A and B are shown apart, each in its own frame.
Chain A
């Protein structure tokens, strides 16, 4: 097992090298950043000075090497726009996105798995057809459309939830992790907790829809496959109550594909976060990176995209490792 984890970790390196190189090369291909920094009408001398300062005239591989070397030393560079270290901006925006993504994934698992079990264990029933149909709608849902509808209906018309931001302006909260929900629980700050929960509800709902649908679909089809197996018939034949057959015998074995889907959905969750953050003015990484792309703020884009990629890699690494725990027959060799 340990050996497998190590080998799996080693396999991550080529992908990380690939990702850093891709983000690096992609941005170089998009043109000259000096006009963004010094303005369209900057003199050639000023541009040359900036190019010199940033080392943009060196060979590609030298620039890439320097980029990686700085990363390894923990130097993430400076934002071209604000001139502040990328690291400090990252510390500000990263927790907001993580909080939103975790809340959405939590909702998706909480709703998707029970729905999938219910639908799969009552194959072809009314609830099964309803779930299948609903899940297909969920999978097809344009996230901005859903977000706008939620915002319009529950935020503006019914006025049930706040529409923009992470927490009420009138709430005092001592930040530790910058995950507002966690911070307010740690400090026992009830007003801050309710405020943070109210602010996160709509964006988390919008972001959770697609993963919920995928998880419900996958759980359903895995349950249907497994409930048709011989050992399930045996369990029923020996007189086990159906509830235990479904939850203990079937579900545990249906978890493997479900966990895979959860891992893969992280990718679309992160992409969805970009749109959700735009709609709900959520001060997270998605908006930070999109704004940086528009402003040709290369250091921010490079680090931002790299962080998203690393999250995706880490989650899928965890998924791979969890296979052995979920199914002891999975051998790592």
Chain B
């Protein structure tokens, strides 16, 4: 039931102290985060990496011999000059070239964009699933809770890498290529996002369930129910917003986890196929050139490490900053 009174009352009550109090929870969190040295370091690292994968595009140009012309942008990243394959790092190709003569520097830039896209989207799917399943289980309890939680446990028990491999091997390249923000992306990108999201929501679901279990007995929830609020309204407007802290932390760490998962699957040769570069699929096959061409795996691998590191530093800082009982300043 959409009662206008119930929509305005609680928001006003919350908004009032936020705007007037000198130290709102949000400000406190920001202050705690800024004092977290490692988190600020991680944030700096991430900003540098984002600049690399965005502004790096401007530097991506060169003479592509097979096309007999000067190319720029993604065309340069996909230009395979087989005459120049497996070149070690040099002035023309700072990170060297890969097995079919593509510039690795350019591919780490464009691949990084896809890896970050995969990371953020998969984390989004993870949070969506985790919050939904956890909230449903806790709110309805009884057999709904029982079935959902046993399912969660079973999913947790199987190493998720197996689920990922099975999923990406069998569903990996069934979707056609598509256009996203003016770029042609392999359909495997969407598949891998969905699969990573679908195999990583379990811990979050348990956290959300535990939070909602304690929240749903609070007086304000009873009040909302007495006002005639529907179940979905209570879950989405009253319960989930109050578990926002673990959701934010999980989403942040989920991005790192998704980038890693994509790399793991790709490393085993089962990731995104086709011309679309990701940091992960640049590693595919690099194993054969372990000794002869270490630049093949060193640069994308290092970028993955730095990104995951930055996100984990930030995630740690967020966890400390968003915990209202936290007194740690580090």
A29: which B residues are within 8 A, CB to CB?
170
Contact in complex: B166, A30 (CB < 8 Å)? yes
Contact in complex: A27, B166 (CB < 8 Å)? yes
User: Given A142-B304, A156-B291, A267-B159, do A278 and B268 touch, yes or no (CB 8 Å)?
Assistant: yes
Contact in complex: B159, A144 (CB < 8 Å)? no
Contact in complex: A148, B159 (CB < 8 Å)? no
Min distance, Cβ B161 to any Cβ of chain A, angstroms = 4
A132: which B residues are within 8 A, CB to CB?
38
Question: Is the CB of B154 closer than 8 A to any CB of chain A?
Answer: yes
Contact in complex: A152, B294 (CB < 8 Å)? yes
> A143 vs B161: C-alpha distance in the bound complex, in angstroms?
13
Min distance, Cβ B253 to any Cβ of chain A, angstroms = 10
B158: which A residues are within 8 A, CB to CB?
19, 22-23, 305, 308-309
Contact in complex: A140, B309 (CB < 8 Å)? yes
Contact in complex: B304, A145 (CB < 8 Å)? yes
The B268-299 residues at the A interface (CB cut-off 8 A) are 268, 270, 283, 286-287, 290-291, 294, 297
Chain A proximity mask over B147-179: 1 for CB below 8 Å, otherwise 0: 000110111111111110110011100000000
Secondary structure type dominating chain B contacts: helix
Question: Is the CB of A275 closer than 8 A to any CB of chain B?
Answer: yes
Question: Is the CB of A15 closer than 8 A to any CB of chain B?
Answer: yes
Contact in complex: A274, B159 (CB < 8 Å)? yes
Question: Is the CB of B256 closer than 8 A to any CB of chain A?
Answer: yes
Which single residue of chain A is at the shortest CB-CB distance from B164?
Answer: A271
User: Given A293-B169, A301-B166, do A140 and B312 touch, yes or no (CB 8 Å)?
Assistant: yes
Question: Is the CB of A96 closer than 8 A to any CB of chain B?
Answer: no
Contact in complex: B160, A142 (CB < 8 Å)? no
A197: which B residues are within 8 A, CB to CB?
none
B165: which A residues are within 8 A, CB to CB?
290, 293
Contact in complex: B162, A145 (CB < 8 Å)? no
> A275 vs B261: C-alpha distance in the bound complex, in angstroms?
11
Min distance, Cβ A311 to any Cβ of chain B, angstroms = 10
> A23 vs B155: C-alpha distance in the bound complex, in angstroms?
10
Contact in complex: A30, B170 (CB < 8 Å)? yes
User: Given A148-B290, A151-B290, do A271 and B160 touch, yes or no (CB 8 Å)?
Assistant: yes
Min distance, Cβ B138 to any Cβ of chain A, angstroms = 19
Contact in complex: A22, B155 (CB < 8 Å)? yes
Chain B proximity mask over A129-158: 1 for CB below 8 Å, otherwise 0: 000110011011111110010011000100
Question: Is the CB of B267 closer than 8 A to any CB of chain A?
Answer: yes
Question: Is the CB of B301 closer than 8 A to any CB of chain A?
Answer: yes
Min distance, Cβ B88 to any Cβ of chain A, angstroms = 15
Question: Is the CB of A18 closer than 8 A to any CB of chain B?
Answer: yes
Residue among A139, A144, A274 having the largest count of chain B Cβ atoms under 10 Å? A144
B157: which A residues are within 8 A, CB to CB?
15, 18-19, 267, 309, 312-313
Question: Is the CB of B251 closer than 8 A to any CB of chain A?
Answer: no
Contact in complex: B290, A294 (CB < 8 Å)? no
B270: which A residues are within 8 A, CB to CB?
294
Question: Is the CB of A14 closer than 8 A to any CB of chain B?
Answer: yes
Contact in complex: B264, A144 (CB < 8 Å)? yes
Min distance, Cβ A270 to any Cβ of chain B, angstroms = 5
Contact in complex: A294, B169 (CB < 8 Å)? yes
Binding site for A on B (CB under 8 A): 38, 150-151, 153-163, 165-166, 169-171, 256, 260, 263-264, 267-268, 270, 283, 286-287, 290-291, 294, 297, 301-302, 304-305, 308-309, 311-313, 316
Given A148-B290, A156-B290, A312-B159, 17 other A-B contacts at CB below 8 A?
Answer: A15-B157, A18-B153, A18-B154, A18-B157, A21-B154, A26-B166, A133-B38, A136-B38, A136-B309, A140-B256, A152-B290, A152-B291, A274-B159, A275-B264, A289-B162, A293-B169, A308-B159
Name 24 interchain pairs, CB-CB below 8 A, sorted by A.
A15-B150, A19-B154, A29-B170, A30-B166, A136-B38, A136-B313, A140-B308, A142-B260, A142-B263, A142-B264, A142-B301, A142-B308, A144-B264, A144-B267, A145-B301, A148-B286, A267-B157, A267-B159, A278-B287, A289-B162, A294-B169, A305-B162, A308-B162, A313-B157
Binding site for B on A (CB under 8 A): 14-15, 18-19, 21-23, 26-27, 29-31, 132-133, 136-137, 139-145, 148, 151-152, 156, 267, 270-271, 274-275, 278-279, 289-290, 293-294, 301, 305, 308-309, 312-313
